[in-house]
A = this chain, B = another copy of it.
Amino acid sequence: MGTTATQPSLWDRSRQAVVASIFDTAMRLFAEQGYEATTIAQIAKEAGISQRSLFRYFGTKEDIVCGEQEELGELLRATVEAQPAAATPWEALRAGFEVLMEAHGDPGQLLEITTLIFHTPPLRARYTQKRLRWQELVQPAVTARMAAGEGPVPQVRAAAVTATVFACVDAATEAWVRSGGSADLASLYDEALAAVRG
């Protein structure tokens, strides 16, 4: 997919507009009444769209909030694999997450989304499930970097390293949310990893 730098295409444009409209409406309602108390019917109505069409844009209610993770996973994988061969898995993954953080435009909105996810159990479950997919995506790169100079790497070892990095990202994100977004996410991550590996 890296080849086709997909142009806006006028058709995508309107699609993006509809998606954004649904998303904004939903986030407003979630903030006003809570996630569970807001029904799909209500979101569709206020966004001026049929319930049926809403499900064509977002497969599930959870995906209205957690949807964009899909694309970001690919970016993470590509970034990690693009790191210099000399980089350790830890360094490569850290670089990957650094890019992800920059990739998100509005930091205020990111905080809003993340806070909602971390305070809503079913959303957090979905979020974790998608991050599991990310782990599978970067696993090959991690395995390759761990194999440098030595024999084959047991899957457990690569899986453990990957999962640990994600666990630290999680701990850092939680602390970031708890701080109301005032703390520095990258510093929190470094402190988390230092506590583990230090």
Contact = CB atoms under 8 A, between A and B. Distances in A.
A20 interface: no
Contacts of A197: 196-197
Interface residues of A, number: 35
A132 B178 CA distance: 16
A61 interface: no
A146 to B, nearest CB: 8
A157 B192 contact: yes
Going nearest first, the 6 A-B pairs with the smallest beta carbon separation are A160-B192, A157-B195, A163-B167, A159-B171, A167-B167, A125-B125
Interface of A: 121, 124-126, 128-129, 132, 146, 154-161, 163-164, 166-168, 170-172, 174-175, 178, 188, 191-197
